[in-house]
Amino acid sequence: MEDLPEALLTEILNRITRTSDLNSLSLVSKQLYKIEGNQRGAIRVGSGLCTATNALTSFCARFPNLRKVEIDYSGWIPGHGKQLDNKGLYVLSSRCSLLVDLTLSFCSCIDDSGLACLAYCKKLVSLRLNSIPQITSIGLFSIAVGCTSLSALHLIGCEKIDSVEWLEYLGRDGSLEELVVKNCQGINHHDFIKFGSGWMKLQKFEFEGKRGRYDCLTSDVVYDSSYDAHSMDLYDFCCESLKDLRLARIETWPEVGLRVVLGKCKTLEKLCLEYVCALNDIDMIALSRSCSNLKSISLWLNLQRYSSDVNYCETRTSFTDNSLYALALNCRMLQMIDLSFIGCDADWPSEIGFTQEGFLVLIQSCPIRVLMLNNANFFDDEGMKALSSSPHLEALELILCHAVTDAGMRFIAHTPCLSNLTLRMCHNVTDVGVAEQEHAHKLESLVIESCGKVSLQAAQCVAKSVQYSSKCSNALMKKIGLGGY
C-alpha cells in the first residue's frame, strides 16, 4: 500500500466510517497513519484521555484538522486517571484551530478559567456543556465575549450559574440560533426575557426546569383559567425565526415569563410542552393563531387546579377542547401529535380536559402521520373507528389506553397507510385483536410491551419487525409517571 498514490489512500479512508476500523488501519503504515490523522474531522474520547500537557500536544498534532470534539467522562472513577483540566483545555483550544463543535460532559476539573481558553477557538459554532459543576456565569460571559462565531449553546446540569449577564450579552449580539438550557437550578425561565433582540434570530429554544418538581403532583395553587397573558404586549421582542420550542417543568404563574412566547411565534413548526403549570386555553389559542406552519405538537399534561370563579375550583389538565378546536381551525399542517396525561384516573370521565369529540375534530382536520396517546382514557373503540379512515396515518402508539379493545383493533387494521403500531400496557387488547393486524398484511413493525393478554406467539407473525416484552421497561415507567427522574 506504500506505493499507492496519496489521493487514492485518502479516498479509501473517506469510505471507512467505523472508528475502530480507522484506528486499526492507521497502524498498517506510517503513510496511512499520517493521512488518517489529517483526515479525522471528528473524535469522541472519555476517561482514557490522558491530560498531561505533552500527551495532549501529541493528540492535537496527530489530528490537526479536528472540527468536532466530544469529551465525555460519564461513569468516570478516580482509577481511570486524571480528567481533562484547565491546562488541557487550553492546549486543546489553542492547537485545534479548526474546531467548530465542542461537547464537554461531566468534566469536574474545568472551571471558569478553563472556559476562558475557548476564546482561542475563533471558529467555534456549537458548544455543549453537560454537568460541568465548577463553571459559573463568569465563565459563560467569557464565552459570550470571546467566541464570536457561536450560534448554538447547550447548558445541562450546570448548577453554579446564577446570573444572566452572559445571556444579555448574547442577546445584544444576536448571533445565537440555538439555545438549550436544562436542569440549571440558578436559571429561571423569567430570565430569558432579558435575551431581548436575541429572540429575533433564534430558531430553536429549549428550557427545562429542575426535574421532578412539576412532574406529577397537584399543588395547592389555584390558577385563573380566564387569565390572558397575551392581551397586552408586556415584552418588546418577537420570535419570527423560532421553529422549534420546548418548555418543560416550569410554572408560568404569577409572573408571565416565557408564557408570552407562545403568542409571538410566527414560523413555529415543532412545539413541546411538558408539565408546564398555569397555562390555559387562551395560551393555546394565541399560539394557534400565529403558528399556521405548526407540524408537530407534544403535550405532557399533569393535574392542576383552575378557577375563573371564586366559588368554584376544578382539578384537571391544562387545556380543554377549545384548544383542540383552535388547533384544528388554524394549524392545518399538523402531522405529529403526542398527548400524555399523568396522574389522571384510568376511567372516563376523569380530570382530562379533552374529550374524544374534540380530539377527533383535530385528527380529522389535519394530515396526521404520527399519533401517540398515553393514558388517554377518553379514547375508545369508536375513536379507533374514526382513526381507521385517516388517509395519512402511518404510526400509532397507545399507552395505557384501557378503553381500546379487540373491536378497536379490528377497525384500525383497515387504516390505509398504517405501517407502525405500538401497544404498551393496553390490557384489554388480546391475541384476537392482534391477529386482525396479521390478516391485513400491512404492518412493517409491531411493538408489544406489557400487554398482559397478548402472547408472543400471536405477535411474532404480524409484522416484518416485531418487538415483544411481557414486562415494563424503565423508559416506559418514566413515560407513565411511575419511574424516578
**Domain boundaries, position 405:** 389-475
pLDDT, residue 44, reads 87
All three cell numbers of 350: 376523569
- Residue 433 resides in a domain: yes
pLDDT for residue 88 is more than 60: yes
- Residue 300 resides in a domain: no
pLDDT, residue 55, reads 78
pLDDT, residue 346, reads 85
Whether residue 22 contacts residue 53, with contact meaning beta carbons closer than 8 Å, is answered with no
Weakest mean pLDDT among 212-216, 260-264, 365-369, 454-458: 212-216
pLDDT, residue 60, reads 86
pLDDT averaged over every residue in the chain: 89
- Residue 408 resides in a domain: yes
- Summarize pLDDT for 356-366 with one digit per residue, the tens: 999 999 999 99
pLDDT for residue 372 is more than 80: yes
- Summarize pLDDT for 318-357 with one digit per residue, the tens: 999 999 999 999 999 999 999 999 988 888 888 999 999 9
- Summarize pLDDT for 131-185 with one digit per residue, the tens: 999 999 999 999 999 999 999 999 999 999 988 899 999 999 888 999 999 999 8
Mean pLDDT of 401-412: 96
Count: domains in the chain: 1
474 CB contacts (<8 Å, ≥6 apart)? Answer: 483
- Summarize pLDDT for 201-252 with one digit per residue, the tens: 999 999 999 765 555 556 678 999 999 988 876 777 889 899 999 999 999 8
Q: Residue 154: phi, psi to the nearest 5?
A: -120, 130
Residues 155, 158, 161, 166: what is their CA dihedral angle, to the nearest 10 degrees?
-20
pLDDT for residue 28 is more than 80: no
Q: Give pTM, 2 decimals.
A: 0.90
Phi-psi region of 456 (alpha: psi -120 to 50; beta: other; left: phi over 0): alpha
How large a percentage of the chain has pLDDT more than 90? 65
Residue 433 sits in a domain of what CATH number? Answer: 3.80.10.10
- Residue 296 resides in a domain: no
- Summarize pLDDT for 270-294 with one digit per residue, the tens: 999 999 999 999 999 999 999 999 9
pLDDT for residue 430 is more than 60: yes
- Residue 458 resides in a domain: yes
pLDDT, residue 113, reads 96
Mean pLDDT of 372-391: 96
Mean pLDDT of 469-483: 83
Weakest mean pLDDT among 15-19, 116-120, 427-431: 15-19
pLDDT, residue 336, reads 98
- Residue 445 resides in a domain: yes
**What is the Cα–Cα distance from 80 to 57, expressed in whole angstroms?**
20
All three cell numbers of 160: 453554579
Mean pLDDT of 4-10: 71
- Residue 448 resides in a domain: yes
| Residue whose C-alpha is closest to residue 298's, from 275, 282, 316 | 275
Confidence of residue 35 (pLDDT cuts 50, 70, 90): low
130 CB contacts (<8 Å, ≥6 apart)? Answer: 103, 104, 105, 106, 154, 156, 157
Confidence of residue 485 (pLDDT cuts 50, 70, 90): very low
- Residue 467 resides in a domain: yes
Confidence of residue 41 (pLDDT cuts 50, 70, 90): confident
pLDDT, residue 118, reads 94
